[in-house]
Amino acid sequence: MAAGAYPMSYLATAGASAAPITRLGWGLLTISIVVVLMVGALLAGALWRRRAGVSPDPEGRLPVERRGPGLRWVWVGVGISTLALFVSTVWTLTTLAAVRHPPRPPALTIQVTGHDWWWEARYLGDAPGRDFTTANELHIPVGQPVRLELRSADVIHSFWIPKLGGKTDLIPGRTNMAWIEADRPGDYRGQCGEFCGLEHARMALQVVADPPAAFQAWRDRQLAAPAPAASPPIAAGAAVFQARCGACHAIRGTPAGGLFGPDLSHLALRRTLAAGTLTNDPQGLTAWLADPQAIKPGNEMPRVPLTDGDRAALVAYLQSLS
């Protein structure tokens, strides 16, 4: 159950938003195991008695004096079952109430929009003009609740970071609220938790919990326009991007302002591409640009015809956006 070994474990969690769910998970697991052991023991006992020839009814009819104790055991069984279900129900309802609201006012609000098949994240600014948008990777400050406003651009998705809490659906036409909190720094893997089409399995997201100072530095960096190095291939890549990609993707500080695909400002700072599908490095980016439909069939990114030279320049430019 170590943090790194099972990134999707909900039985070893890391925050106040998940702790009551973890206790409930272990509790229900324990109750279930006890029930299975009891039923198994009774079944084994009955089989053994039958095999040993101990029959309550040797003459072919049930003796009247045995009906009493038999019925009593039925009621004991009903009582135990009712008690187990009652405890589980009350505990579940208490847990739902406990995780409904964060214990302290949230440090920030992120609007998360589910798309087929990626995550848009808009950070609401701490001051006017300090909003920004990123994709597929959320950064949060450690030890502070973060409020999430969950929406969908198309079909029902579900936001799920197992180590940080339960699932909340993203439903077209409405806004659902959720919150997460991480009590130690680290990477927490998430996954769309509701089947949403062909590439549902490749709709992952990453939550990176940083100490508050590091989080603030990341946020300030996201707010600034990326400053790619001045070199001929990077300048050529920027020109290719404006001509071929800017209608669908945005990069702050450039004329590219497309809203259809993920915002690519500071793309080089992200760990993965295509919602957790590929590692974000030159090889991954080159493969993605060459044939996104082979890697994630059905996604909205078309095969853009590019010469090898243009593609290499584009990769150099995108890798410089930090």
Q: Tally DSSP H helices, then E strands, for the chain.
A: 7, 12
Find tokens 């039923």 and name the residue.
39
**Strands 168-170 and 157-159, bridge-based pairing:** antiparallel
Of the two residues 199 and 310, which places its CB atom closer to ligand CUA in the complex?
A: 199
Q: According to the binding rule CB under 6 A, does residue 195 interact with ligand CUA?
A: yes
Of the two residues 110 and 203, which places its CB atom closer to ligand CUA in the complex?
A: 203
Shortest spacing between CB 176 and ligand CUA, in angstroms: 14
Applying CB under 6 A, among 120, 137, 194, 263 the residue interacting with ligand CUA is 194
Q: According to the binding rule CB under 6 A, does residue 151 interact with ligand CUA?
A: no
Q: According to the binding rule CB under 6 A, does residue 200 interact with ligand CUA?
A: yes
* 270 CA to centre of own chain: 17
Q: According to the binding rule CB under 6 A, does residue 161 interact with ligand CUA?
A: no
Count of residues of this chain found to bind ligand CUA when the rule CB under 6 A is applied: 9
Q: According to the binding rule CB under 6 A, does residue 208 interact with ligand CUA?
A: no
**Would you give the binding string for ligand CUA spanning residues 18-47, x where CB under 6 A is met?**
------------------------------
**Strands 146-152 and 108-115, bridge-based pairing:** parallel
Contacts of 171 (CB under 8 A, 6+ apart): 152, 156
CA-wise closest residue to 183 among 242, 217, 143:
143
Of the two residues 116 and 210, which places its CB atom closer to ligand CUA in the complex?
A: 116
CA-wise closest residue to 192 among 296, 96, 113, 95:
113
Q: Which residues pair with 170 in a beta bridge?
A: 157
Shortest spacing between CB 177 and ligand CUA, in angstroms: 19
User: Which two tokens mark 171?
Assistant: 């439903």
Q: According to the binding rule CB under 6 A, does residue 202 interact with ligand CUA?
A: no
Q: According to the binding rule CB under 6 A, does residue 203 interact with ligand CUA?
A: yes
Of the two residues 170 and 245, which places its CB atom closer to ligand CUA in the complex?
A: 170
Q: Which residues pair with 207 in a beta bridge?
A: 138, 188
User: Which two tokens mark 239?
Assistant: 């020109």
- Residues 69-128 touching ligand CUA, rule: CB under 6 A, are 114, 117
Shortest spacing between CB 166 and ligand CUA, in angstroms: 16
Q: According to the binding rule CB under 6 A, does residue 192 interact with ligand CUA?
A: yes
Q: According to the binding rule CB under 6 A, does residue 157 interact with ligand CUA?
A: yes
Q: According to the binding rule CB under 6 A, does residue 196 interact with ligand CUA?
A: yes
The b-or-e profile of 226-265 (16+ CB within 10 A means b, else e) is bebeeeebbebbbebbeebbbebbbbbebebeeeebbbbb
Binding site for ligand CUA (CB under 6 A): 114, 117, 157, 192, 194-196, 200, 203
